[in-house]
Amino acid sequence: MNTEYVDSNETIKITFEDLNGHQDNEGYFVYLNGHRVICAESPDMLRDGSEMVASGLLCTVGLGTIMETPYNFTYGDLVQAQIADVMNGLIETDLSVLGGTAVLPDLADFIAVASTWNGDYQQTTFASIRDGTFVKERDSMTFESMFVGDNVVAGEGTDTNGHFLVAGIRDGLEVAFTKTYTDAEGQGA
């Protein structure tokens, strides 16, 4: 079992050996932090000339995905994976031992290459979140350092409520992130 952080596209590459040699209708499920992950690759067996090869021996997962629930990895974490042998769609083995040596970059690594974004953005007000009405208003904010990569959104900024950290994911043209205030009243540290 090996895990590797791939900087060029912000992914974790998980590679592993076939546990018991090739069998028809065999596959693998890959787990991070005890939760099954959906790999970019197909887990099916593919014909390569006259030899069958398991495409499931490689699993690539975006950094933005593994930093979200239920995986909950964060900057600087060691990423280890587990696998389970699957036959005819049913798990037939316990999870393997944890394996891998990938370490996620620190937030500072993303901030070092981030851009500044200024403008008015629409967000839900604190008061409306508290009372359950969810009123949105336009708010001027500056993302001092906002990195939007192939798979991850990271950075920090300020608005009228205070300083915040940004964490999220990118999927093609869609970008989604949360802001966590570090010094706003009733928020953060």
How far apart (Å, rounded) are the C-alpha atoms in residues 40 and 60? 5
Pairwise CA distance, residues 45 & 11, whole Å = 23
Model confidence pLDDT, tens digit, residues 76-108: 999 999 998 888 778 888 888 999 999 999 999
Q: What is the pLDDT of residue 188?
A: 47
Q: How far apart are CA 103 and CA 55, in angstroms?
A: 24
pLDDT at 19: 65
pLDDT at 35: 96
Say how far apart CA 92 and CA 146 lie, in whole Å.
44
pTM confidence score = 0.73
* pLDDT value for 49: 52
Is residue 186 pLDDT above 60, yes or no? no
CATH 2.60.40 fits 2-105, yes or no: yes
Give the pLDDT confidence score for residue 53 in this predicted structure.
53
| Sequence ranges of the domains in the chain | 2-105, 109-181
Residue 16: helix, strand or coil by DSSP? coil
Q: Say whether 109 sits in a helix, a strand or coil.
A: helix
Alpha carbons 85 and 26: distance in angstroms, whole number: 7
